[in-house]
A and B are shown apart, each in its own frame.
Chain A
């Protein structure tokens, strides 16, 4: 495990070094402006959270190809490999930060991605009336969308959030199903 962890870290750094980059501040401000727009559009905080998750999902189903093509990682061997790849390679390659994998459940189907340093929230404080807002929920959607494209159906939620007073950010990822290859209906005509 230790060696494989190191290997992931190295891959993450290599990928990050190759990428063309932009100021994180500009990115965080743009994200913040979008969240504000959603807060204005939906009265209900739960609806904003759901919308952020959906937008993340739409990003994730695209981002997976950017990731596969440019990170130099192949198909993951198992869920542990997947977890390390998300935390050490994907977070590093896209956001420039490394996350940790923690809190595996007993049967090895659920884990947490722990993020000490979240570039999305650099300038953000939640006012009391929005204390239920999952400001960075887009990240859950991205993970869910990206994994679905590699045939893993997962549930993803923010378990701890620095903006809501926790000491770190924790995204809980639970594997629900490994999807089978499914051919389009046209292949079953006349069979």
Chain B
């Protein structure tokens, strides 16, 4: 991770105050789309076989999945560092999770998480009712859509895990939009489950 470009980026980052400049949503859509295609080997170099409709997508593309998650992790860390320059947190896990639900989520999606639940033993479930990155997918009708939607979500998991790590709350994060009971997609609703590591 300690690449030169990374070091330079955070050094320069520390100098500026977080601004509220905006760009068109579609810029992020396109960047994620192209980064995903690149990592999945659909564009040459990280040459993995393209089989996006496979049942065992997660095995086939495990390295792309890990790389996309780590891309998210990286962004989550940096964004949190920048946001926390002006905000002090007490160090309680719940406060860190609330920070993600409010400040962090607003920064990325311009809205807060819709619902937060916890078992008070280190597990938090965040529910987003309208996750806009996945609007184009119909996972009920297409295996490819189901795989791609899940793949895209790994970036968001990385974001949240990176943010938690930066707030000194190492955790695992997984996301889902599939209701096992009815065997149907819940999109556009998505839930994220955060489990603290020491719990």
A is bound by B: yes
Instruction: Report A's interface with B, CB cutoff 8 A.
Output: 16, 19-27, 29-37, 39-42, 51, 54-55, 58-59, 62-63, 66, 93-96, 119, 122-127, 129-130, 133
Q: Is A127 a contact of B8 with CB atoms below 8 Å?
A: yes
Does chain A have a CB within 8 A of B140? no
**With A26-B75, A122-B16, A127-B4 in contact, is A94–B34 under 8 Å at CB?**
no
Q: Which residues of B contact A25 (CB under 8 A)?
A: 18-19, 21, 79, 82, 107
Within the complex, which residue of A27, A41, A126 is in contact with B23, where a contact is CB–CB below 8 Å? A27
Partner of A21, one of B22, B78, B79, B108: B22
Q: A25-B82, A41-B46 are in contact. List 14 more A-B contacts (CB 8 A).
A: A19-B26, A22-B27, A23-B20, A23-B110, A24-B22, A36-B3, A54-B43, A59-B30, A93-B24, A95-B27, A124-B9, A124-B12, A126-B5, A127-B4
B199 at the interface (CB under 8 A from A): no
**Docked pose: A42 CA to B22 CA in angstroms:** 31
Residues of B that sit less than 8 Å from A by CB:
3-13, 16, 18-28, 30-35, 37-38, 43-46, 67, 71, 74-75, 78-79, 82, 107-110
Closest to B42 in A: A58
Report how far A59 CA is from B21 CA in the complex, Å: 22
Q: Are A129 and B16 in contact (CB under 8 A)?
A: no
Q: How far is the CB of A98 from chain B (nearest CB, A)?
A: 14
Separation of A62 and B45 alpha carbons in the complex (Å): 21
Contact between chains at B45 and A127 (CB < 8 Å): no
Please determine whether A63 and B79 come into contact, CB atoms closer than 8 angstroms.
Answer: no
Contact A37-B27, Cβ < 8 Å, known A23-B108, A127-B7: no
Is the CB–CB distance between B24 and A95 below 8 Å?
A: yes
Taking chain A's interface residues, is the majority helix, strand, or loop, or is none over half, making it mixed?
Answer: helix
Q: Is the CB of B8 within 8 A of A26?
A: no
Residues of B within 8 Å of A32, CB to CB, are: 5, 9, 78
In the bound complex, what is the Cα–Cα distance between A54 and B28 (angstroms)? 17
Pairwise interchain contact A96-B5, C-beta atoms closer than 8 A: no
Interface pairs A-B: 3 shortest CB-CB: A24-B21, A123-B13, A21-B22
Residues of A within 8 A of B35 (CB): 30, 34, 37, 55
* Separation of A35 and B4 alpha carbons in the complex (Å): 12
